[in-house]
Each structure stands twice: as structure tokens, then as C-alpha cells.
A and B are shown apart, each in its own frame.
Chain A
Amino acid sequence: MKILVTGAGGFLGKAIVERLLEHGQNDLRCMLRDASKTRGLETIAARYPEARLEFVTANLRNPNEIPRAVAGADIVIHAAAALKGSPAEMFMDSVVASRNLLEAIANELRHIRVVLVSSFGAMGVAELPRGAMVDEKTPLEQHPERRDVYSHSKLRQEQLFWEYREKYGFELVVLRPGVIYGPGGGHFSNRVGLSLFGRFLHLGGKNLLPLTYVDNCAEAIVVAALSESSSGQVYNVVDDDLMTSGQYLSLYKKNVRRVKSIPVPYFALMWGSQMVERYSERSKGQLPAIFTPYKTRAMWGGNQFSNAKLKSLGWRPVLSTREGLERAFAAFRAEPEKAK
């Protein structure tokens, strides 16, 4: 069985390739935008003598570069997405790129199983009460224009996949990871806080962090991709033993480096968000509305998370949260520049 992984050279993509090999899936085609990223994948493949890795350098913005990557694939795992850039660039690399991939899949005119790595950001959590459970039944975001551009682009991406599935009838599995962390990843999710004017504003308080260690997340994607019962299903991906934002920050300070943090309680954050939004409107955008009550509720409102559905599929974490954090912090200590 040939499996295509898009974004294979990325933080999550590499882990997906490794988990596929671990599951005995050796016939892998890795799609990369940047040919220099093959080195990391070759290092992984060297640990698996049976591995047959094929590299396809393609930019998903260009529809004519995709068919050769999709040709002959039985499963397509779409992990490529934009994490930064201008709104237009993020939509190009997440949404337009997905449409191009879906067109190529539809044009194959044969059975292909499609696995999308979506995001928690696609869900409409701002209107949930604080502390509410976020699971697979949580509706998709209804007001993407009020959220950040990343959430908007991931929502539109997921919608496209469901639209194309409706139209072309392929098998689709959607995974929505929470905060993916691990060596090579970011040090802080915005859910913990933001660096502003040389200080770290700790905004997450005692909210539970929907953490998933990169290998655990990749394992979830692979288990769902290979499961016979996952078709048409959505799976939220979070690990066991979740910790709060405050616990993460204090462990980080203890194990990685000193951080001058200022705790901002939720009521103060909401008040500040209202002020920022009002000022932005009154001043006709003189300062951007980077904080609004809607965004604040979505990002820092605080929720409960469940991985019960994922577990019912047979997924088990590769590492515990304690082990995952140990590995992540050890890597963070070695690369402090990524803390920014």
C-alpha cells in the first residue's frame, strides 16, 4: 500500500513518516516543498531497513505539480499547512493548496482514502461556557472572521474536504490536534501566553492545555489512517494526563530557562480585550484589535478535552506527558533561540 504524506518535511510530517514505518507501512511517498528537508527523513528511514521512501518536491500552490505525487497512492495524509505569513499567503498554502490536492485526488478516478490533519482552531469554542467539554461534537466555527487567520484558514480547509467528499464520495478521516509539542516545535502555545514588550504575559491561568506530543499526535493520525472504522469520522487529538497552562509554565521555567512572566487573570484579560476592541473601532483601526472578547473566549476561556473517541479506535500515547515534556524541554534547552 502506497501512502502519500504532504508536508512530510515538517515538524509533524516527519513524525507521521516515522510512525507509519513503525506500523510496518514501508511504501511511502513524501511530498516536500523544500528539497533540503529530505535529509531529516533519510535519517529516520535509515532506522528501518525495509523502508522505501520516495521524495516528491512540489509546491501545492501549483496544481500541475500535484498529480505525479498523488498517482498510485492508496492513502493521502495531508499534513501540509501554513503556520505563519500574511492572510493571503496562509490561505494560499492551507486552503488553495488543499483545493489543488483535492482536485488531483478527484481526477485520479479511483478509490483513495484521504486523511486530513485539521486543528482545534476549526471548532467554534468561543460561544461555549467556560469549562465546557470540547469533543468531536463541538460545532465548527461559525464566525471565522472574528477569530485569528490561522483558525479561519484551517476551518475553510476542513470545510473544503467535507465538500469534496460529498461531491466525489472518497473516504475521509479528519483529525483535529490540540497543541502539538515536542523537540523542534515552539516553546509556548498562545494558549499559555504571549511575549509582549519584553515580558511574557501568562494568559492561560489554570486552563487545561490540550497538549499532544508530536509522536502521539502522529500515532493518532496513523492509527486513524489505517483503521477500517474511521471513515467519515472526526477525531480530536489530545494526550492523557493533561496539565494546566500554569503548570506548564512553571515546569518550563524550572527545566528550560528563566522567564519573567506576568500573570493576567481572566477577568482582567476580558476587560482589556473589550477596551482594545472598543478603541480599535473608535479609532478606525489605529491599533489593531489583536485582543477581542471573542478571541479571548476562544483562546483563553478554558475547556475540558476528551480523547475517548480516539482511544476507542485503538490509539494509545507513545509517550506519557511527563516523558514527552522531558524530551521537549531537553531539546528546548539546546535551542533557546526558538523560544522567541
Chain B
Amino acid sequence: MAELRKLRVGIIGCGKIADGHAEIVKHLDGAELAAVCDREPLLAEQLAVRFGAAAWYGDTGEMLAQEKLDVVHITTPPGVHLPLTRQCVAAGAHVFLEKPLALTAPEAKELIDVVVAGGKQMTINYWPNFDPPAMEFKQMLARGVVGEPVHVEAFIGYDLSGAYGQALMSDAGHWVHRLPGKLFQNMMDHIFNRIVPLFPDVEPEVHAFAYKRREAVRNDGTDALLDELRVFLRGGSVSAYGSLCSHARPVANTLKVYGTKATVEVDFNNRTVVSTTSQRYPSAVGRLAPPLQMAGRYFAEAKKNIGQFRRHEFHFFAGMSKLLELFYAGIRAGGEPPIPYSEILRTAEVMDRVIEQVYPATVAAGGAR
């Protein structure tokens, strides 16, 4: 069988997250990192040199004209996603975008419309949802193990003193501070993209509140950033809590789904998917069994993870590899994109509702636009 032509991949935006994309593309069969671009050519150069891309550019138009790219990864701040998508689609490229997709849900819709009208495909980097435990949870759901979802809890932790957090907190001019929803807008895709697929397709009720737990000491633009977010949602007969928490330790990343048949917790950091046991045997003796059963389930998860490690399937960005495999396969076959556009838009709409409630002043002032 003839070998498939490698998809020519480009990256626009050579900041911190671009490293993750370049690392994945470098190792994906059927793709090659052809070129990278940043309006700061020195940043483009360093990425190209470190990851062996053949060319680097300081101008998107020039890269698109020269390189005949099949796919472009747009890893810039979200404010320029829409114009860059227009350029890429016009140049005949499919697009893979970092979250958040755009500054508002209407803008996100416009972006998807541009892609569809251009006959191209897009997806967004919801990589944790394609990590091994998330994929396993989707299968459990499809098999009916959980039953009907009744309530969902999505929790993500954030470390303000971590590598990303520090870059943000030490620079009042960082682009995240200019987003209408600031830190929350840059992170909460990962809360709601887990809840939305479990909700019926109706407009959900969204009640959000947020506050700042850290003490304001810097007297600069960083002080306006709220760091704790709690959201309550209801869509039809399913309810959910979503939390972004900057102070609880360890920095967690979990999804707990309470279903009519079982309650399952996905731990994205520890890569476990475990359903909660219940007492099946009577009396005090019966209460001895569930912790042992839970221990057995965690032991099975550890064994499974070791197997994945041995098969080299346990990378940090394993989910991004999986998502890109599916996205690239869809491009080749002209099939469906890995994340339904309706899901992406519903996530963006929930985010708009949250931002309106927790940052009403920035929304009224037009945010970063």
C-alpha cells in the first residue's frame, strides 16, 4: 500500500503553548511541521530551530502563500483567532485552534461559519477530553454503565504561582488580563466542555459568582483578576457545578458524574476512572467491603496505566495526540470533526453567561475588543 502523503502543518503564534503543539506534531505519523510563524520573527525562529521546522516567518500571509499548508494550528491569544482563521481558510487550510475559541460566543459562531463556508474543518484544543481516562469515561457512558446523568461536578484547579500562573501574575500587560473574563475565560472551556455534552440540547440556566481570595498587594492591573469561580447550571433534568479554584491543594482536575445507575469520577491528573461502590452486604461487616472494593478499582487503574506507559501511550499531552489523530483523519477522509461544532458553541455560550455575571463592568465596556 502506498504511503499516505504527510499533511503539511503550520503553527501561528510561537508562545509557550506552541511548544506542546510542535512536540506532538513532530511525533505524529502522517504529519510534518512544515513552518511556523509569529509576528515576532525571533520567536518563530527559536521554535523552528528547536523542533526542526523547515521554515519560519514573521508574516502569516507570506507563510500561507509560500507553504501550501494543509492544517494550521492557531496558538495566538483569542482576540485574533477570527481574522487568522479567515486568512488560513482562504489559503485552503484547515484550522486547529487553542481555547478559548474567540472573545464571545457570537464571534465563535462567526469563526465556525467562516470555516464551514470555506469547505474546511476546524477543531479546538480540548485535549484533556481525549486523554485516556476521558476516552474511557465516554465509552462507559455509551455502554450505559452510568445510566442517565443526574448531576455533574467539574472542578479544575489553577496554580497562580505555577509556570503559566507566574507569567500572568508578573505581567499586568499579559493578554489574559485584557480578556473580558480574564483568567476564567482562558481556563473555563475545560469546565464547561465536560458538562455541556452531558446536558440535553436546551439553553441551560447559568448562575455564577466569583471572588478574589488572594490579597491585593501589587497595585497594578493584575489586582483586578478574580481567582475563584463557582457556577451552578441546570439543563432540563441535569444539573451541574463547575469550579475553578486557584487556592485549594493539590491542584485538581476532576469530573464527577452522578448517574441513575452509577457515580463515576474521572481524575484527569491521576488518570483514573473509578465508579463509586455502595454497600451491598448488610450490617457493620458489609461496611468493611466498599473501601476494599475501591482499593481494588484503583489498583486496576494503576495496572492499566502501567500498561499504557509500557506501550508509550502515557504522554503528558496524550489527549492532544489523540485529538489530532482524529482531526487529521477526518480531514483526509472528509469525515466529521472530532468535536461537534454545536458542542463548541454551547460551551462558548455558557462562558458568555458566566462572564456577564462575574465581570459585568468589562462586558458593559466591551471587554478587550
Which residues of A are at the interface with B, using a C-beta cutoff of 8 A?
A: 59, 62, 85-89, 91-92, 95-96, 99, 144-145, 149, 152-153, 156, 282-286
Main secondary structure of the interface of A (DSSP, over half): helix
Query: Cβ of B163 and Cβ of A86 under 8 Å apart?
Result: yes
B50 adjacent to A152 (CB under 8 Å): yes
Chain B residue contacts of A96, Cβ below 8 A: 40, 42-43
Taking A86-B16, A86-B163 as contacts, is the C-beta distance between A95 and B315 under 8 angstroms?
no
List 10 tightest A-B contacts by C-beta distance, closest first: A284-B27, A283-B312, A86-B16, A91-B46, A88-B15, A88-B16, A145-B50, A286-B315, A286-B312, A95-B42
Within the assembled complex, what's the spacing in Å between the Cα atoms of A95 and B40? 11
The answer, yes or no, to whether B201 is at the interface (CB within 8 Å) is no
How many angstroms from the CA of A153 to the CA of B45 in the assembled complex? 11
CB distance from B30 to the nearest CB of A (A): 13
Cβ of B33 < 8 Å from any Cβ of A? no
A86 in contact with B42 (CB, 8 Å): no
Q: Which residues of chain A are near B19, meaning CB under 8 Å?
A: 86-88
Q: Does B309 contact A (CB under 8 A)?
A: yes
Interface size class, chain B: 20 to 34
**Please, which residues of chain B bring their CB within 8 A of the CB of A152?**
46, 49-50
Interface members, chain B 175-210 (any A CB < 8 Å): none
Enumerate chain A residues within 8 angstroms of B314, measured Cβ to Cβ: 286
Cα A285 to Cα B26 in complex, Å, equals: 10
Nearest opposing residue in chain B for A283, CB measure: B312
Do B312 and A284 touch (CB < 8 A)? yes
Q: How many Å from the CB of B87 to the closest CB on chain A?
A: 22
Grouping DSSP codes into helix (H, G, I), strand (E, B) and loop, the B interface class, with mixed when no group exceeds half, is helix
Partner of A86 from the list B26, B27, B49, B167 (CB cut-off 8 Å) is B167
Name B residues whose Cβ lies closer than 8 Å to a Cβ of A.
14-16, 18-19, 23, 26-27, 40, 42-43, 45-47, 49-50, 52, 163, 167, 173, 309, 312, 314-315
CB distance from B170 to the nearest CB of A (A): 9
**New A-B pairs, 19, CB < 8 Å, besides A86-B16, A86-B19, A156-B42:** A59-B173, A85-B163, A85-B167, A86-B167, A87-B46, A88-B14, A88-B16, A96-B42, A96-B43, A149-B50, A152-B49, A153-B46, A156-B45, A282-B312, A283-B312, A283-B315, A285-B26, A286-B312, A286-B315
Closest chain A residue to B29, Cβ basis: A284
CB distance from A158 to the nearest CB of B (A): 14
Residue of B nearest to A149 (CB): B50
Interface centre among A59, A86, A144 (most CB of B within 10 A): A86
Which chain B residue shows the least CB distance to A284?
B27
Q: Is B27 in contact with A285, judged by CB distance below 8 angstroms?
A: yes
Closest B residue, CB atoms, query A282: B312
**Nearest Cβ distance between residue B12 and chain A, in whole angstroms?**
14
Is the pair A144, B43 in contact by a Cβ cutoff of 8 Å?
no
B41 to chain A, nearest CB (A): 9
C-alpha spacing A88/B46, complex, angstroms: 8
Cross-chain contact of A156 among B23, B46, B315 (Cβ < 8 A)? B46
In the complex, A91→B47 CA distance in Å? 10
Once the chains are docked, how many angstroms separate the CA of A88 from the CA of B15?
5
The chain B residue with its CB closest to the CB of A89 is: B167
A62: which B residues are within 8 A, CB to CB?
A: 173
